[in-house]
Amino acid sequence: MLNRPTFGGHINSGWGFFHSFRYFCNEKTFSMSDFLSKEERSVRMSRIRSVNTKPEILLRRGLWQNGFRYRVNDKNLSGRPDIVLPKYRTVVFVHGCFWHGHKGCKVYSVPKTNTEFWLAKVARNQERDQEVWRKLEAKGWSVIIVWECQLKKANLEETINRVSGEIVRNGETYRAAKEERRKAREEYRRERKARKEREQSLLEEVKSL
């Protein structure tokens, strides 16, 4: 098949549909403008969760080179964070400046057409983001947000260093809190043991009278 099939033209033929779908999934090359309105199209595009996007890979590579080990797109955590560092109890989200509304960002500008639609959409995304952060932080995770513009060539190294520093500090805080809890548990056990011993000796004293 030399020509790329169009979605509409092949919708009635199984094979054609398969090819169209394959192009849709793998290459995203066919034009959705043929059969979707602008709004529908943007909604659909936003649903295509961008996994392994380039800026994210650049950040991951940098962190790996700095010695960090991580899990990627952990489904068990709220919001499926892009990078998860259990040792440091830290998650990292790489956010597209437009979809997540990076404030004061040069890359992010509100489109001149359908302005209200876009503003509402971005606001919804931001609300969802904040909900996710709250859930994660409630479970003791530190959340780092990296904006895509911060991963542009000129800023990449600086961003990787900043994020690395933050991860290390989060790890220290996490370990200190863990140590604090361990000490508190130990203290509690010691006190309970001492109290039981006191009660026991008192009981024996009474018995011996």
Rule CB under 5 A: which residues touch Zn ion? 97, 102, 105, 107, 147, 149
HSE-up of 71 (CA within 13 Å, CB side)?
15
Of the pair 99, 174, the CB lying nearest Zn ion is at 99
* Shortest Å distance, C-beta 105 to Zn ion: 3
Quick one: DSSP state of residue 88?
A: G
* Cα–Cα–Cα angle for 168, 174, 180, rounded to 5 degrees: 140
* Shortest Å distance, C-beta 102 to Zn ion: 4
Of the pair 7, 147, the CB lying nearest Zn ion is at 147
115: which 2 tokens?
């302005």
Of the pair 142, 150, the CB lying nearest Zn ion is at 150
Whole-angstrom distance, CA of residue 31 vs CA of residue 136:
37
* Shortest Å distance, C-beta 113 to Zn ion: 21
* Shortest Å distance, C-beta 174 to Zn ion: 28
* Shortest Å distance, C-beta 58 to Zn ion: 15
Whole-angstrom distance, CA of residue 49 vs CA of residue 55:
14
| 65, 79, 89, 128, 131 from 136: Cα distances, Å | 26, 9, 10, 12, 9
Per the CB < 8 A criterion, the answer to whether 101 and 126 are in contact is yes
Of the pair 77, 97, the CB lying nearest Zn ion is at 97
Of the pair 98, 133, the CB lying nearest Zn ion is at 98
Of the pair 58, 97, the CB lying nearest Zn ion is at 97
Per 3-state DSSP, what percentage of the chain is helix, strand, and coil (rounded to 5)?
A: 60, 10, 30
* Shortest Å distance, C-beta 106 to Zn ion: 7
